[in-house]
Amino acid sequence: MRILVVEDNRDIAANLGDYLEDRGHTVDYAADGITGLHLAVVNDFDAIVLDLNLPGMDGLEVCRKLRAEGRKQTPVLMLTARDSLDHKLAGFDSGADDYLVKPFALQEVEARLAVLARRGKAAQPRVLVVADLEYNLDTLEVHRGGKLLQLNPTALKILQSLMEASPAVVPRLDLETRVWGEELPDSDSLRVHIHGLRAAVDKPFDKALIQTRHGIGYRIADPEAS
């Protein structure tokens, strides 16, 4: 796991870090809330260990901003010396996923982080992204530049195949088989659906993402990254 430890007590941070790294995990550190929030927003961690009492910004505020402003759902294990029910409820209300009272056993910290990381991965939406195009496989919604696109089921299948392979070219036969199975359509069907897909995905926008490789197949990619 890649773990962020936000803890201003150097001894606690060092003990946690040494133990987790010895167990094969990668650990990043922050000693104050502002730095911790920045690292948590700009990086992808499997879990965050967050102290409640921090300089600059306390753990509750860090967690609130991480969820509301950073829009990150990284699992958070909050550490605190406060063991009252009100303090625990405040932690959960801020967006924390679990709560551990100091002093704690290092083995328990790792065990709880492992559970949170598994839950976090299971809860993450499956989203394909190419440039400013996003396809949420759970909701079957496609957005480009924040605009919701209307696509029929066949177009969605084609788009998923292209985005999963991006930036590679998908051979025409592979694409037809993926969409229609063994009962392949007539030779013009794929071309017609690609034309409709382009009309929705590319035509209203400044740069085209869907590209034809004549005699081979199609691909979808950011032309500026090609």
Mention every residue, 6+ apart, whose C-beta is less than 8 A from residue 82: 52, 101
Poorest-pLDDT segment among 29-33, 38-42, 124-128, 187-191: 124-128
Mean pLDDT estimate for the chain: 88
The three-state secondary structure class of 220 is strand
Is pLDDT at 216 greater than 70 in this prediction? Answer: yes
User: Superfamily for 2-123?
Assistant: Response regulator (3.40.50.2300)
Burial 114-149 (b: 16+ CB within 10 A, else e): eebbeebeeeeeeebebbebbbeeeeeebebeeeeb
Amino acid 137 reads L
Q: What is the pLDDT of residue 217?
A: 94
CA distance 223 to 154: 25
Q: What is the pLDDT of residue 121?
A: 65
| Contact present, 59 and 52 (Cβ < 8 Å) | yes
Query: Span 97-110, mean pLDDT?
Result: 88
Q: What token pair was written down for 104? A: 């704690």
Please list the residue range(s) of the chain that carry CATH number 1.10.10.10.
127-220
Q: What is the pLDDT of residue 29?
A: 94
Q: What is the pLDDT of residue 135?
A: 92
Poorest-pLDDT segment among 18-27, 131-140, 183-192: 183-192
CATH 1.10.10.10 fits 127-220, yes or no: yes
pLDDT band of 226, cuts 50, 70, 90? low
Helix (H) or strand (E) holding 53: none
Is pLDDT at 85 greater than 80 in this prediction? Answer: no
Please list the residue range(s) of the chain that carry CATH number 3.40.50.2300.
2-123
Residue with tokens 């839950």, as numbered in its chain? 119
pLDDT band of 99, cuts 50, 70, 90? confident
Strand order of the β-sheet with 47-51 is: 26-30, 2-6, 47-51, 76-80, 98-101
| Contact present, 221 and 166 (Cβ < 8 Å) | yes
pTM over 0.85: no
Amino acid 150 reads Q
pLDDT tens digits along 117-155: 887 665 556 788 899 999 988 788 999 988 999 999 999
What percent of the chain clears pLDDT 70, i.e. is strictly above it? 93
Is pLDDT at 17 greater than 90 in this prediction? Answer: yes
